[in-house]
Amino acid sequence: MRSLLAYGVAGFRRYAAYRSATVAGAFTNTVFGVVKASITLAAIASAGGAIAGYDARQGATYAFLCQALIAPVAVFGSRELADRIRTGDIAVDLARPVDLQLSWLAADLGRAAYELLPRGLPPLLVGIAFFGLTVPHEVQPFALGAVSVLLAVAVSFACRYLLNLTAFWVVEMRGLLTLYMVGSNVLTGLVVPVHWFPGWMSALATATPFPSMLQAPVDVISGRAGGWDGATTVATQALWLVVMLGVGRVVTARATRRLVVQGG
Amino acid sequence: MSAQHPLRAYRALLGSRVRAQASYRASFALDLLGSVGVGLLEAAEIYVIFHNVDALGGLGIGPALLVFALANLSFSLAGVVVGHLDELPTYLRAGTLDAMLLRPLPVLAQLVTSDVSLRRLGRAAVAVVVLVIALPLAVDQWTASAVAMLLLAPLTGAVIFGSLFVAAAGVQFWLIEGYELTNAFTYGSSYVSAYPASVLHVAVRSFFTFVVPAAFTAYLPTLVITGHPGPPGLPAWLGWFTPLAAVLTAAAGLACWRAGIRHYTGAGG
């Protein structure tokens, strides 16, 4: 447990070291937020004031909350573990007396904890100043929202971990990474809320863990999913987390057995 | 490699890149598939929006699809040639660029020919399909100027996007750690250009027209092709200034690059 905590602190410190990268990222997230909110608002206006229960204000709130969460949740994927697998550095990680999956999860939670405020606040402040975002007036959305964001980061990690493990079998995973990035872009609800999807597409999206990464926490924080709805939203996230971490463990076991055969 | 025949040198560089990509067939096929996926999923966003509305920013589905297709076509064409300039921060950190500085050829030309990303043609193919679907929906009457603009737009658009990438690469010499900053302008304008510029607030719209000329890549050409008058402050006739916008952006991109390379002092080796 103490070593996992150390991994978490290291993850936090590591990202805190790159201040100008944080500023640059926050700027880019904000610019995209302005453009996305504009498209969302134009669509809502064109539909006569609301789409799937989102009025103008809620539409803009949705767009900016998504932009605020992109970095902590790491929606677009990552390839750091895959690079360690390809170079063989993974052998060092495996030799340590800590669980591979849990240590990377701890480091990723540390990273997310750092990125939450410096990457999340700027887009939200711009959204509040220029688009008049709505904020819930009760405590419940924030308390449950914190749990939901934590679960979102963990689900995203579990999926990225699995994606990276393919490096044990696939030599060049650029194509896979691109597909993951674009797939998550749509299925998390980042570009357009999943609630706007036509029936077949929303069925497809909800059959994947992706909506648990953005749509779910944004629904909870914005107060769209409150009470019983909020509870089931968070429960669904927890379920996906257990499933994806479980699959990750099975694949890790198979992959490391393979590594032993290959590298001795 | 003789300095008298620089063209031959570039041809050799390019040829080796193309052969390299062709020799790893499975990997190339996966990359190409990924690129087609990118195009399809980008189109899915337009599909979802028009599933809920009949018009966006004053454009119906036909003209809106035309904007999307032209923007994606020019962006992916630019990406084939200069998309990999994105990797410059990696080259700078690894010191790869220092080797290029020693050769008697312009560094930018070496960088451009060091990789040609044929896989990005997958996204261009999706754009062409959307273009073919959009044209009969968007255009009632084919005039000479509509045809001329349709032929001109993908080329000028590619020059504009390509120049933005070159400009972004030039700025990297100062940023290095903050490389993500330029994404707001390169990928940001790619994203903006795929939608009717009329959805943007007038200040943001002016920025993405007159400072970063994203609106010139697809929205303004679409206004000319479809005979749509355009929103206040962004008249359709401005579309004819697309070649001028392309030339100015190219000049600005090269200036950024030159300033950047002059500022560069090596990777510390």
Could you read off the pLDDT of B167-195 as tens digits, one per residue?
999 999 988 778 889 999 999 999 999 99
pLDDT per residue as tens digits for the range B212-229: 999 999 999 999 999 999
Considering only CB atoms, B56 lies closest to which of A21, A46, A178, namely A46
- From chain B, pick out residues whose CB is under 8 angstroms from the CB of A198: 48, 51
Considering only CB atoms, B200 lies closest to which of A32, A38, A192, namely A38
Overall size of chain B counted in residues: 269
Residue A54, strand partner residues: A51
pLDDT category at B268 given cuts 50, 70, 90 is low
Verify whether the Cβ–Cβ distance A182 to B37 is below 8 Å. Answer: yes
Considering only CB atoms, A20 lies closest to which of B34, B45, B178, namely B178
Verify whether the Cβ–Cβ distance B188 to A32 is below 8 Å. Answer: yes
In chain A, the residue whose alpha carbon lies closest to the alpha carbon of B178 is: A21
Question: Residues of B at the A interface (Cβ-Cβ below 8 Å)?
Answer: 24, 27, 30-35, 37-38, 41-42, 44-45, 48-49, 51-57, 119, 175, 177-181, 183-184, 188, 191-192, 195-196, 198-201, 204
Q: Which helix (H) or strand (E) holds A50?
A: strand A50-51
C-alpha to C-alpha distance for A200 and B9, rounded to whole angstroms = 53
Verify whether the Cβ–Cβ distance A24 to B24 is below 8 Å. Answer: no
Higher pLDDT pick, B269 / B82? B82
CA neighbours closer than 13 Å in the CB half-sphere of residue A30: 22
Q: A32 in contact with B at a CB cutoff of 8 Å? A: yes
| Block residue for tokens 């312009």 | B106
Residue pairs between chains A and B whose CB atoms are closer than 8 Å: 117
- From chain A, pick out residues whose CB is under 8 angstroms from the CB of B25: none
CA neighbours closer than 13 Å in the CB half-sphere of residue B169: 28
**SS3 sequence, chain B?**
CCCCCHHHHHHHHHHHHHHHHHHCHHHHHHHHHHHHHHHHHHHHHHHHHHHHCCEECCEEHHHHHHHHHHHHHHHHHHHHHHHHHHHHHHHHHHCHHHHHHHCCCCHHHHHHHCCCCHHHHHHHHHHHHHHHHHHHHHCCCCCHHHHHHHHHHHHHHHHHHHHHHHHHHHHHHHHHHHHHHHHHHHHHHHHHHCCCHHHCCHHHHHHHHHHCCHHHCCHHHHHHHHCCCCCCCCCHHHHHHHHHHHHHHHHHHHHHHHHHHHHCCCCCC
- Which of A:227-246 have CB within 8 Å of B? none
Verify whether the Cβ–Cβ distance B178 to A24 is below 8 Å. Answer: yes
Tokens of B57: 């920013």
C-alpha to C-alpha distance for A53 and B215, rounded to whole angstroms = 31
Q: Smallest CA–CA separation between B63 and chain A, in Å?
A: 15
* pLDDT at residue B3 greater than cutoff 70: no
**In terms of Cα–Cα distance, which of B3, B111, B136, B8 is closest to B61?**
B136
Q: A51 in contact with B at a CB cutoff of 8 Å? A: yes
Q: What is the DSSP-derived secondary structure letter of residue A95? A: H
- From chain A, pick out residues whose CB is under 8 angstroms from the CB of B198: 42
**Rg from Cα positions in chain B:** 20
Considering only CB atoms, B204 lies closest to which of A27, A34, A174, namely A34
Verify whether the Cβ–Cβ distance A41 to B199 is below 8 Å. Answer: yes
Output the CA–CA distances (angstroms, integers) from residue A226 to A34, A164, A206, A241, B178, in the order listed.
Answer: 27, 35, 19, 21, 39
Nearest 5°: phi and psi at B213? -80, 50
- From chain A, pick out residues whose CB is under 8 angstroms from the CB of B68: none
- From chain B, pick out residues whose CB is under 8 angstroms from the CB of A176: 30, 34
Question: Mean pLDDT in chain B?
Answer: 90
What is the torsion angle, in degrees rounded to the nearest 10, for the CA atoms of residue A163, residue A164, residue A167 and residue A168? -100
Q: A50 in contact with B at a CB cutoff of 8 Å? A: no
Q: What is the mean pLDDT of residues B238-260?
A: 96
* Residue B57: per-residue pLDDT: 93
Chain B contact probe: residue of A30, A79, A177, A179 with most B CBs at under 10 A:
A179
Sign of CA dihedral A83, A89, A94, A98: negative
Q: Smallest CA–CA separation between B5 and chain A, in Å?
A: 35
Distance of CA A64 to the CA centre of its chain: 15
Q: Smallest CA–CA separation between A126 and chain B, in Å?
A: 13
- From chain B, pick out residues whose CB is under 8 angstroms from the CB of A25: 180
C-alpha to C-alpha distance for A42 and B53, rounded to whole angstroms = 10
Residue A151, strand partner residues: none
| Whole-prediction pTM | 0.91
Per-residue pLDDT of chain A (264 residues; tens, 9 = 90+): 788 999 999 999 998 888 889 999 999 999 999 999 999 999 999 999 999 999 999 999 999 999 999 999 999 988 899 989 888 888 888 888 899 999 999 999 999 999 999 999 999 999 999 998 887 888 888 899 999 999 999 999 999 999 999 998 887 787 788 889 888 999 999 989 999 999 999 999 999 999 999 999 999 999 888 889 999 999 999 999 999 999 999 999 998 887 765 654
pLDDT category at B95 given cuts 50, 70, 90 is confident
CB A3 within 8 A of CB A102: no
pLDDT per residue as tens digits for the range B112-162: 888 778 888 999 999 999 999 999 999 988 999 999 999 999 999 999 999
Tokens of B194: 């795929």
* Residue B1: per-residue pLDDT: 45
Verify whether the Cβ–Cβ distance B53 to A185 is below 8 Å. Answer: no
Output the CA–CA distances (angstroms, integers) from residue B131 to B69, B72, B194, in the order listed.
Answer: 5, 10, 12
CB B86 within 8 A of CB B111: no
Tokens of B229: 């008058």
C-alpha to C-alpha distance for A187 and A197, rounded to whole angstroms = 10
Q: A199 in contact with B at a CB cutoff of 8 Å? A: no
C-alpha to C-alpha distance for B4 and A256, rounded to whole angstroms = 55
Nearest 5°: phi and psi at A55? -90, -175
